[in-house]
Chain A
């Protein structure tokens, strides 16, 4: 009889105290207030927090669902979801094997990593100009 990973019993009764969620939400609120006041963004690493499933549910419920979902495709998929609380983004970074390598809350107008880097704007413009000058307009010939 083969035993699946899910069959190996681990019965832990944490009782769902939920204290972790309340503390975390307080921190989020504080960072959001700072963002509104000074414009300084903040980050919270969820992976290194002692959160159990009850805490996570509470966190989801308190923050809510927003309007935007973004996907970053590089070295695995990363998902960015705006929560129902403006300025609070829930980020999941996954690797090529879909393993979770980082999970964060970013408190910012939008996640920093999504912006196109300023240094690359000029390069992009030059590359596009070069293509136009060489009259390469068909997608097949695009670099």
Chain B
């Protein structure tokens, strides 16, 4: 909650110009911006004031925050100390109880209309929102209040972006994503279960340095990170194109790094940065480690059938992929009904044939 510019804070914190320029260069590279923008970004940031950030956690597993704190570049420490003023975050802040809530209220008041609201977790709405509460107030209530004074809302994770696991069948708490509850405010959805750490920090960083939200896709996700499917950037794509698929998790194909389509990879229909930015400082990502993509950055991914059934398999019913038994039951039922209808049709035809035979006995003898 400081009025100092980021540049002044950097000096105060002993962060050299070179360090900051290196950091901006890395961010520019991560976001696939022209490298010449690194210096411009550094200048823009130095002149900017750190925005106040209020981070509210609702129906979530805290995995998104865990991911956020694992960001390598920019590291979350550098982000927190230099670029944003994190005025409220349940897990990271030292304060607790009434004092913390008062600090939040004060931050929201002092920065009314200007603070960045970061949300993780879905919001339960059934029965007046009683299934989720903090400090004696429902999540629904807290979100609506915080949303009023926010300049923009950043949803971190699939739960706040699209509903995620709380919203999966049968959704007993009436969980909803943020965009179903707040309207009229710019919302960025950084989906993923959890999102790639650098995608979270990169988006925050971009907002602060550019002063505006990044370009978004139809689902409100930053295009720079969610513009391509995993399939489009997968290093195993040559094997898909050649028709070389691993059949089980330990066979020859799997050991040779073949395509995981038959093991249920949802890469072709999943938009995320895992295949390029990767995880744990570009160490690996699920497919590289031998497991197919589960499509965690897409809406309703929990209810789209088994993670291990190929994308081209039918998925009848709520969460079930077609099995031979399902097919047999369905076809059996259809055959029974069809047979009955056929018998009926045949009966009608036969009686007509009988009438014709009776009318012209020479033409059609017998039956």
Q: B38 to chain A: which residues have CB within 8 Å?
A: 43
Interface residue A124 (Cβ < 8 Å from any Cβ of B): no
Q: Cβ of A75 and Cβ of B29 under 8 Å apart?
A: no
Contact count A vs B, C-beta below 8 Å:
80
Q: Cβ of B26 and Cβ of A101 under 8 Å apart?
A: yes
Q: Cβ of A12 and Cβ of B238 under 8 Å apart?
A: yes
Q: B282 to chain A: which residues have CB within 8 Å?
A: 99-100
Residue of B nearest to A14 (CB): B238
A29-76 interface with B by 8 A CB criterion:
42-45, 47-48, 72, 74-75
A42 CA to B36 CA in the complex, in Å? 7
Interface residue B44 (Cβ < 8 Å from any Cβ of A): no
Q: Cβ of B25 and Cβ of A8 under 8 Å apart?
A: no
Q: A43 to chain B: which residues have CB within 8 Å?
A: 34-36, 38
- Pick the residue among B16, B26, B39, B256 that contacts A93 (CB under 8 A): B26
A113-B21, A117-B17, A120-B17 known; A95+B257 contact, CB < 8 A:
no
Q: B306 to chain A: which residues have CB within 8 Å?
A: none
Q: Mark A9-27, 1 if CB is under 8 A from B, else 0.
A: 1111000000000000000
Q: A75 to chain B: which residues have CB within 8 Å?
A: 19, 22-23, 75, 78
- Pick the residue among B29, B39, B73 that contacts A95 (CB under 8 A): B73
A112 CA to B17 CA in the complex, in Å? 12
Q: Mark A65-95, 1 if CB is under 8 A from B, else 0.
A: 0000000101100100000000000000101
Q: B235 to chain A: which residues have CB within 8 Å?
A: 10, 12
Interface residue A136 (Cβ < 8 Å from any Cβ of B): no
Q: B78 to chain A: which residues have CB within 8 Å?
A: 75
Residue of B nearest to A47 (CB): B29
Q: Cβ of A113 and Cβ of B238 under 8 Å apart?
A: no
Interface residue B98 (Cβ < 8 Å from any Cβ of A): no
Q: Mark A91-109, 1 if CB is under 8 A from B, else 0.
A: 0010111011111100000
Q: Mark B18-49, 1 if CB is under 8 A from A, else 0.
A: 11011101101110101110110000000000
Q: Cβ of A97 and Cβ of B29 under 8 Å apart?
A: no
A75 CA to B79 CA in the complex, in Å? 13
Chain A CB within 10 Å, residue with most, of B16, B235, B236: B16
A8-B290, A12-B235 known; A72+B18 contact, CB < 8 A:
yes
Q: Cβ of B29 and Cβ of A48 under 8 Å apart?
A: yes
Q: B29 to chain A: which residues have CB within 8 Å?
A: 45, 47-48, 101-104
Q: B290 to chain A: which residues have CB within 8 Å?
A: 8
Q: Cβ of A72 and Cβ of B281 under 8 Å apart?
A: no
- Shortest CB-to-CB span from B12 to chain A, Å, is 14
- Shortest CB-to-CB span from B71 to chain A, Å, is 11
A45 CA to B39 CA in the complex, in Å? 14
Residue of B nearest to A100 (CB): B282
- Pick the residue among B32, B34, B255 that contacts A9 (CB under 8 A): B255
- Pick the residue among B26, B75, B288 that contacts A102 (CB under 8 A): B26
- Shortest CB-to-CB span from B83 to chain A, Å, is 14
Q: Cβ of A93 and Cβ of B25 under 8 Å apart?
A: yes
A101 CA to B35 CA in the complex, in Å? 13
Interface residue B308 (Cβ < 8 Å from any Cβ of A): no
Q: A42 to chain B: which residues have CB within 8 Å?
A: 36
Q: Cβ of A104 and Cβ of B25 under 8 Å apart?
A: yes
- Pick the residue among A12, A99, A112 that contacts B39 (CB under 8 A): A112
Chain B CB within 10 Å, residue with most, of A8, A10, A75, A95: A75
A47 CA to B30 CA in the complex, in Å? 9
Chain A CB within 10 Å, residue with most, of B38, B235, B284: B38
A74-B22, A113-B21 known; A10+B257 contact, CB < 8 A:
yes
Q: Name 19 A/B residue pairs within 8 A (Cβ), A-sorted.
A: A5-B284, A8-B257, A9-B256, A11-B256, A12-B235, A42-B36, A43-B34, A48-B32, A74-B16, A74-B18, A74-B19, A95-B26, A95-B75, A99-B73, A101-B72, A101-B73, A103-B29, A104-B35, A120-B17
Q: Which residues of B contact A (CB under 8 A)?
A: 16-19, 21-23, 25-26, 28-30, 32, 34-36, 38-39, 72-73, 75, 78, 235-236, 238, 255-257, 281-282, 284, 288-290
Interface pairs A-B: 9 shortest CB-CB: A10-B257, A43-B35, A101-B26, A99-B281, A74-B19, A45-B35, A102-B29, A101-B73, A102-B26
